[in-house]
């Protein structure tokens, strides 16, 4: 189990993949208050609790103190200290790990499916009261549920930047309904009517009823959801920094919720006597008594519209749980990817499809099959109550997890070396509040299990049915959620495999490019080395290469002989002056090639400088050197050098003068040998050119 410091920064969870595009940040504190009021403040909760009379107000105050206040304080406390911008998954995962985070988030989403499905049935029930002739058969009832749900889905798919204004106006109108109801009840009393229940007798404020436990669990259920707006925490303006200011929505929302619940409960207790009937019928009768038949119908229609908006809010909130799981790569990335208007359409449609299937099974299929051997209306009502009870247990369980989180977060004092005792004393109020919330949640779960909400079902049967329903819901939900989770894992694995393959290909390509570059570098190096030792005009070794080769030959020829032939082109200046330097270069190139062709393979010829060439002969003697020199001279003398300029062919005869120096006869060092050959070449020039002279000893 992990612990976190209160100052821990907002870091992504381990194993994060490349970032999925974030949803547009368009929400403010006011929008969170609106979402909280619409998600938590449900009129049917008041209608259910009103038979308790004045003690219902005591229940609301008790629930507000023991549950709503702890939820408010702990939610804000966690929002300021844990990463994830209010994300339920991020909160639980940062403390207990990713698997518990997924289980808690998924269980909350399944509970959201059940809640959304039950409120589809409640909207249809309102319409059935108003227009019974049009919803007389199960088929008509199912069709009405389908149309209402499609309307809610269509509204929820609007861009959040526009949808928030629709929700704001709806919230104002919804709060106005409570104010009208309260004003109507007050006018009822002022007109001289007697209150249906006495508020004067103290015993009525703490009366004991057979279904007290179910009343208490309903109160706790009605106050659940303080943290729901934070499911959209990543869409808050200014991100985590903006959450510090926006998280104060809990105080405004919680205060208004308790105030309107008290006002609505007082109004119903004043007007209606405690009679067992459905929540929708209770609301309809109360509004009819206060506002007349037409006004009552309008009030019931307004409540039906408010439930449609509630469906929109639930679709919006609980689909964001899928977005969160997808952003943390527990579901396919497509669940979190927004469309061009910034709406995560895939997650909304998946959530809507799951709600549609759940609603069809509970309120269409089961009634058609006459489950419980009852008529369709009774079966629908029983499934309604059972679904709410299952949702309460799941949601209270996830709420208990939230209350547990503060015990595993290190405070600032402990981080600075404070003792554990000081830490507990410093944060005892928060721990006490968390324990109060845990205790209340456990009691509410026990109350939900121990007392049947269905008149025809004994408590023992209710408990067994409820536990089995919770287990079946979790199993079916888990199996349904495993496919997308495994698909996400498989997609991540395929992504990693594809990434590794691409990296290998890129690495292989890099290796190949490196080999090409190395070959190119080697080629350039060889060309550079060759250019450093090659004459560009004749393509023969240059002066530097000749001297280097001569030194090597001298080293090899310590016990042998070698010779230098120093060759000079006769009257080359005249060629340059007459034909130009370009023709002169052509003549030098051809001279070099003829000299090279007239030598042995192991002999060396190079351009010494200007029109002078040097020939190095290995393993030779004076006679052989003379023979080679004559061969070179004849190679130039016998055939003229040719070239073309401007399409015309030209030729000229070229002769050479050659000087020969032999090692060791004429010199003992390379420089001396070259100098002797040079002097011999000048003697050949003086002798009339086109001849060979041997150096003197």
Confidence (pLDDT) at 133: 77
Confidence (pLDDT) at 18: 54
Residue 582 has pLDDT above 50, yes or no: yes
For the ranges 216-230, 243-257, 374-388, 645-659, the lowest mean pLDDT is seen at: 374-388
Residue-wise pLDDT for 172-204, tens only, equals: 999 999 999 999 889 988 888 887 777 777 666
**CA triple 166-168-169, angle to 5 deg:** 70
With both helix axes pointing from N to C terminus, report the angle between 55-63 and 249-271 in degrees, rounded to the nearest 10.
170
The residue-averaged pLDDT of 306-328 equals: 91
Structural domain boundaries in the chain: 28-501, 543-694
The Cα 246–Cα 601 span in angstroms is: 92
Q: What are phi and psi of 24, to 5 degrees?
A: -60, 135
Residue 40 has pLDDT above 50, yes or no: yes
562 three-state secondary structure: strand
Residue 576 has pLDDT above 50, yes or no: yes
The residue-averaged pLDDT of 56-62 equals: 89
612 three-state secondary structure: strand
The residue-averaged pLDDT of 304-329 equals: 90
Highest mean pLDDT: which of 218-232, 266-280, 495-509?
A: 218-232
pTM over 0.75: no
Q: For residue 593, what are the CA distances in angstroms to 161, 372, 543, 677? A: 85, 112, 17, 21
Residue 112 has pLDDT above 60, yes or no: yes
Q: Say if residues 550 and 564 touch (Cβ distance below 8 Å).
A: yes
Token pair for residue 152?
Answer: 């809610």
DSSP characters for 246-300? HTTHHHHHHHHHHHHHHHHHHHHHHHS------HHHHHHHHHHHHHHHHHHHHHH
Q: Say if residues 258 and 64 touch (Cβ distance below 8 Å).
A: yes
How many C-beta atoms lie closer than 10 Å to residue 136's C-beta?
Answer: 11
For the ranges 19-28, 126-135, 412-421, the lowest mean pLDDT is seen at: 412-421
The Cα 354–Cα 427 span in angstroms is: 42
Hey, what CATH class is 543-694 in? alpha beta
Report the relative pairing of strands 648-652 and 656-663 from DSSP bridges.
unpaired
Confidence (pLDDT) at 369: 57
Q: For residue 487, what are the CA distances in angstroms to 26, 113, 330? A: 31, 21, 9
Residue 406 has pLDDT above 50, yes or no: yes
Split at pLDDT 50, 70, 90, the class of 430 is confident
Phi-psi label, residue 520: left if phi above 0, alpha if psi -120 to 50, beta otherwise: alpha
Hey, what CATH class is 28-501 in? mainly alpha
Split at pLDDT 50, 70, 90, the class of 426 is low
Split at pLDDT 50, 70, 90, the class of 472 is confident
Per cent of the chain over pLDDT 70 is 88
The Cα 466–Cα 449 span in angstroms is: 7
Confidence (pLDDT) at 478: 67
The Cα 10–Cα 55 span in angstroms is: 45
Split at pLDDT 50, 70, 90, the class of 206 is low
How many C-beta atoms lie closer than 10 Å to residue 633's C-beta?
Answer: 20
364 three-state secondary structure: helix
Residue-wise pLDDT for 140-149, tens only, equals: 878 888 898 9
What contacts 427, CB < 8 A, 6 or more positions away?
Answer: 406, 411
Confidence (pLDDT) at 577: 83
**CA triple 133-136-139, angle to 5 deg:** 130
Per cent of the chain over pLDDT 90 is 23
For the ranges 92-101, 109-118, 452-461, the lowest mean pLDDT is seen at: 452-461
């Amino acid at each position: 189990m992990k612990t976190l410091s209160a100052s821990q920064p907002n870091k992504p969870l381990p194993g994060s993949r490349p970032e999925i595009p974030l949803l547009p940040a368009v929400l403010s504190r006011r929008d969170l208050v609106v979402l909280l009021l619409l998600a938590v403040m449900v009129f049917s909760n008041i209608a259910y609790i009103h038979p308790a009379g004045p003690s219902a107000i005591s229940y609301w105050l008790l629930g507000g103190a023991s549950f709503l206040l702890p939820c408010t304080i702990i939610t804000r406390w966690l929002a300021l200290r844990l990463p994830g911008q209010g994300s339920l998954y991020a909160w639980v995962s940062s403390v207990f790990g990713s698997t518990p985070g997924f289980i808690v988030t998924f269980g909350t989403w399944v509970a959201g499916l059940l809640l959304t499905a039950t409120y589809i049935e409640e909207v249809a029930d309102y319409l059935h009261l108003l227009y019974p002739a049009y919803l007389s058969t199960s088929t008509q009832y199912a069709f009405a549920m389908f149309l209402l749900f499609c309307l809610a889905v269509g509204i929820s798919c609007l861009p959040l930047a526009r949808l928030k204004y629709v929700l704001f106006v709806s919230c104002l109108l919804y709060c106005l309904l409570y104010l009208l109801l309260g004003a109507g009840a007050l006018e009822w009393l002022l007109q001289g009517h007697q209150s249906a229940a006495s508020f004067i007798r103290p015993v009525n404020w703490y009366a004991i009823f057979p279904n007290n436990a179910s009343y208490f669990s309903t109160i706790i259920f009605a106050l659940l959801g303080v943290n729901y707006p934070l499911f959209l925490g990543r869409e808050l303006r200014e991100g985590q920094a903006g959450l510090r200011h926006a998280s104060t929505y809990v105080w405004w929302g919680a205060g208004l919720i308790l105030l309107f619940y008290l006002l609505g409960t007082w109004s119903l207790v004043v007007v209606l006597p405690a009679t067992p009937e459905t929540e929708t019928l209770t609301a309809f009768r109360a509004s009819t008594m206060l506002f007349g038949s037409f006004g009552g119908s309008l009030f019931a229609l307004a409540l039906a519209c408010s439930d449609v908006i509630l469906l929109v809010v639930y679709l919006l909130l609980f689909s964001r749980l899928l977005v969160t799981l997808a952003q943390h790569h527990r579901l396919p990335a497509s669940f979190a990817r927004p469309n061009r208007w910034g709406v995560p359409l895939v997650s909304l449609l998946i959530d809507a499809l799951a709600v549609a299937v759940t609603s069809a099974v509970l309120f269409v299929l089961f009634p058609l099959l006459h489950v419980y051997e009852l008529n369709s209306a009774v079966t629908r009502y029983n499934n309604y109550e059972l679904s709410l009870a299952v949702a309460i247990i799941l949601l209270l369980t996830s709420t208990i997890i939230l209350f547990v989180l503060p015990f595993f977060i290190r405070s600032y004092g402990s981080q600075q070396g404070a003792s554990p005792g000081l830490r507990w004393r410093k944060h005892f109020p928060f721990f006490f509040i968390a324990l109060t919330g845990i205790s209340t949640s456990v009691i509410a779960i026990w109350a939900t299990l121990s007392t049947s909400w269905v008149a025809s079902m004994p408590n023992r049967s209710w408990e067994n049915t409820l536990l089995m329903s919770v287990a079946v819901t979790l199993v079916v939900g888990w199996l349904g959620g495993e496919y997308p989770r495994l698909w996400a894992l498989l997609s991540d694995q395929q992504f990693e495999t594809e990434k590794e393959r691409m990296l290998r290909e890129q690495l292989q390509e890099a290796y190949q490019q490196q080999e090409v570059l190395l070959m190119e570098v080697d080629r350039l190096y060889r060309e550079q080395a060759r250019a450093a030792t090659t004459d560009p005009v004749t393509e023969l070794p240059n002066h530097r290469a000749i001297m280097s080769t001569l030194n090597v030959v001298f080293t090899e020829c310590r016990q042998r002989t070698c010779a230098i032939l120093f060759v000079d082109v006769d009257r080359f200046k005249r060629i340059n002056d007459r034909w130009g330097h370009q023709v002169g270069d052509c003549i030098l190139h051809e001279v070099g090639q003829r000299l090279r062709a007239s030598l042995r393979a192991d002999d060396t010829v190079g351009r010494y400088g200007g029109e002078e060439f040097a020939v190095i002969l290995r393993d030779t003697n004076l006679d052989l050197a003379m023979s080679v020199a004559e061969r070179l001279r004849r190679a130039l003398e016998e055939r003229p050098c040719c070239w073309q300029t401007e399409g015309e062919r030209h030729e000229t005869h070229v002769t050479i003068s050659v000087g020969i120096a032999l090692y060791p006869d004429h010199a003992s060092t390379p420089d001396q040998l070259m100098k002797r050959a040079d002097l011999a070449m000048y003697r050949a020039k003086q002798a009339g050119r086109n001849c060979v002279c041997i150096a003197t000893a």
